[in-house]
Amino acid sequence: MKRGFIFIFLIISFFILNWCWGIGRRELREVERRLEKVVGRDFAVRIKHTKEINAYATENGKIFITSKMLEMCATKEELAFVLAHEMAHIVLRHHQKQREKEVIGALLGVVVGKIAGADEEYEFRNWAKVGATLLGEKRSRKQEYQADEFAINLMNKAGFNPWGSVEILRRLREIYGDGPADIPLLGWLASHPVTRNRIRKLENLIRGR
């Protein structure tokens, strides 16, 4: 008798958990499909189970969103912004452009090093690294703003309220602070420009300024 109860309890728990879990997943697929329809191509969006708040696009065109990030998204609009931002990185070929910039930066670094009087191999290597880092960083900040702009456009076209972008960033900022210095292990914010500036730019963009 007792065993029967436990068994039924476990079965019900399993379905309840599955149902709760399923909501996030179902909404993710729905949002993904609506955005894909506008872009005109499929993105392989995958969930990664980790406590880190992150979403990222890989060089071969896949998008990963962590379960914690999914949990942080309170509405479909917020989730749409996270996905649309990553889709933007892929569509705008940001990985490839970033690498090109780093190669140019490394070459410039070597030239500057030569002028500065470097003649050992390790010195040239250091100059190359400095050049790649400097040019690469500037490029990556620009790309983040470009991806945000692309995301707002995409959200508008797919029928999502673009203010979801500001809402998710504000919430993350409230919890985790403003920038990379405050949040060392927070992938999505740490690799992006200062959140305050991003929010301001997004607000201007949405208001059409």
Binding window for Zn ion (CB under 5 A); candidates: 15-23, 71-79, 140-148, 153-161? 140-148
155-194: contacts with Zn ion (CB under 5 A): none
With CB under 5 A, what is the number of residues at the site for Zn ion? Answer: 2
Q: How far is the CB of 143 from Zn ion (least distance, A)?
A: 7
Contact 118, 127 (CB under 8 A): yes
Q: How far is the CB of 140 from Zn ion (least distance, A)?
A: 8
Tell me the C-alpha distance between 45 and 10, whole Å. 31
Q: How far is the CB of 155 from Zn ion (least distance, A)?
A: 15
Binding window for Zn ion (CB under 5 A); candidates: 13-21, 99-107, 114-122, 141-149? 141-149
Identify which of residues 147 and 168 has a Cβ nearer to Zn ion in the complex: 147
Binding window for Zn ion (CB under 5 A); candidates: 4-12, 69-77, 97-105, 142-150? 142-150
Q: How far is the CB of 45 from Zn ion (least distance, A)?
A: 15
Q: What are the residues binding Zn ion (CB under 5 A)?
A: 144, 147
